[in-house]
Amino acid sequence: MSDNILKIRDLDVFAGETQVLRDVDLTIHPGEVHILLGPNGSGKSSLLQAIMGVPPFRVTKGDIRLNGRSICDLTPDQRAALGFGMAYQKPPEIDGVTLTALAHVMRADATFATEAAALDMADFAQREVNVGFSGGEIKRWEVLKLFLQNPQFLLFDEPESGVDLEHIAAVGAAIERLARSRTANGAKRAALVITHTGFILDYVKADTAHMMVDGRIIATGDPKEMFEQVKSNGYHAA
Ligand SMILES: Nc1ncnc2c1ncn2[C@@H]1O[C@H](COP(=O)(O)OP(=O)(O)OP(=O)(O)O)[C@@H](O)[C@H]1O
């Protein structure tokens, strides 16, 4: 039995002919929330999509393990079935499928009612998934969707960007609540959250932050200290 949920070892990833990640090592234990920060184009979203197995990202070296099991040979839906869930930056629209219909097929009607209220999305119940949603509404729905999906390992790609100040509190509180809760099987969850601003840290008690530059993790440390360091020194290892 593995004592970590996610273990990434010596990972190289390519998007087409472009190398986007180099020698990435990352270990996350049950109950932990980790933050990923770094400049534009440094590889943060690529890492999350490589974990989910989304094309065109290809692992060419190293390994990604969930609860000790290598997942590099699995499709995104197989990874989702195993326990990964991601709140995407740019999810697709699903014409003809309402939020309540989706919640119903996911057997999560009661969770939908509670969490839609918490994320101020009750009025969206009969809207089609992501159709005509504003940037901030997409972010709130992506977090709500994870409550319905109930994954053990949570990936959030800039969950607060484009969200107004009032709703950042709701999104942050929802992420904290979900990450600290247990799965339907009673297992502890864990999360990896990309943030540029660190606003989310006012609501999410993150354990560790990682700084990514040019596709490598160059520093790991306390989240709030790392943001202060970036503000004064830029994206450099201390
Ligand atoms: N499909 C792709 N084909 C080629 N290059 C890609 C592809 N997707 C991403 N890249 C490149 O990989 C690098 C990392 O991109 P990524 O989106 O992971 O950065 P990021 O750190 O999430 O940036 P941001 O903070 O701007 O969201 C960038 O140089 C980007 O242009």
ipTM value, please give it.
Answer: 0.97
The token duo for 123 is 């009025």
76: in domain: yes
% of the chain beyond a pLDDT of 90: 92
Asked whether residue 163 is domain-assigned, the answer is yes
pLDDT digits (tens, 9 = 90+) for 187-217: 999 999 999 988 899 999 999 999 999 999 9
Residue 149 CB coordination number (10 Å): 17
Per the structure, the complete domain to which residue 70 belongs is given by 6-233
Domain contains 179: yes
Which pLDDT score, from 0 to 100, does residue 184 have? 87
42 ligand 1 Cβ < 6 A: yes
Q: What is the pLDDT of residue 238?
A: 76
> Residue 175: which CATH number?
3.40.50.300
Contacts by residues 160-166 (CB-CB < 8 Å, ≥ 24 positions apart): 160/195, 160/197, 160/199, 160/200, 161/89, 161/135, 161/196, 161/197, 162/134, 162/135, 162/136, 162/138, 163/135, 163/136, 163/139, 164/136
165 assigned to some structural domain? yes
Residue at 41 is within a domain: yes
Decide whether any atom of ligand 1 lies within 6 Å of the 44 Cβ. Answer: yes
Average pLDDT (108-113) is 96
Query: Above 70 in pLDDT, residue 1?
Result: no
Q: Residue 128: pLDDT above 90?
A: yes
Q: What mean pLDDT, rounded, does the chain reach?
A: 95
- The pLDDT score that the predictor gives to residue 87 is 97
pLDDT tens track for 28-80: 999 999 999 999 999 999 999 999 999 999 999 999 999 999 999 999 999 99
Q: Among 11, 42, 160, which residue has the most ligand 1 atoms within 8 Å of its CB, making it the best to mutate?
A: 42
Q: Which atom of ligand 1 is nearest to the CA of 47?
A: 18
Rounded to the nearest 10 degrees, the angle between the axes of helix 165-180 and helix 109-118 is 140
Which atom of ligand 1 is nearest the CA belonging to 215?
A: 14
Expressed in angstroms and rounded, the spacing between residue 149 Cα and the centre of ligand 1 is 27
Find the 213 Cα to ligand 1 centroid distance in Å. 12
Residue 180 has pLDDT above 80, yes or no: yes
What are the Cα distances from residue 205, in Å, to 105, 159, 180, 194?
Answer: 32, 15, 10, 14
| Total domain count, the chain | 1
154 lines ligand 1 (CB under 6 A): no
On whether residue 238 sits in a domain, the answer given is: no
Closest atom of ligand 1 to 49 CA is 18
pLDDT-derived band at 175, boundaries 50, 70, 90: very high
Distance CA 191, CA 84 (A): 10
CA 170, CA 184: separation in Å to the nearest integer?
23
H helix intervals, the chain? 44-52, 76-82, 99-105, 109-118, 135-149, 165-180, 223-233
Residue 138 belongs to a domain: yes
Tell whether 1 is covered by a domain: no
Centre of ligand 1 from the C-alpha of residue 19, in Å:
10
Band of residue 237 on the pLDDT scale cut at 50, 70, 90: confident
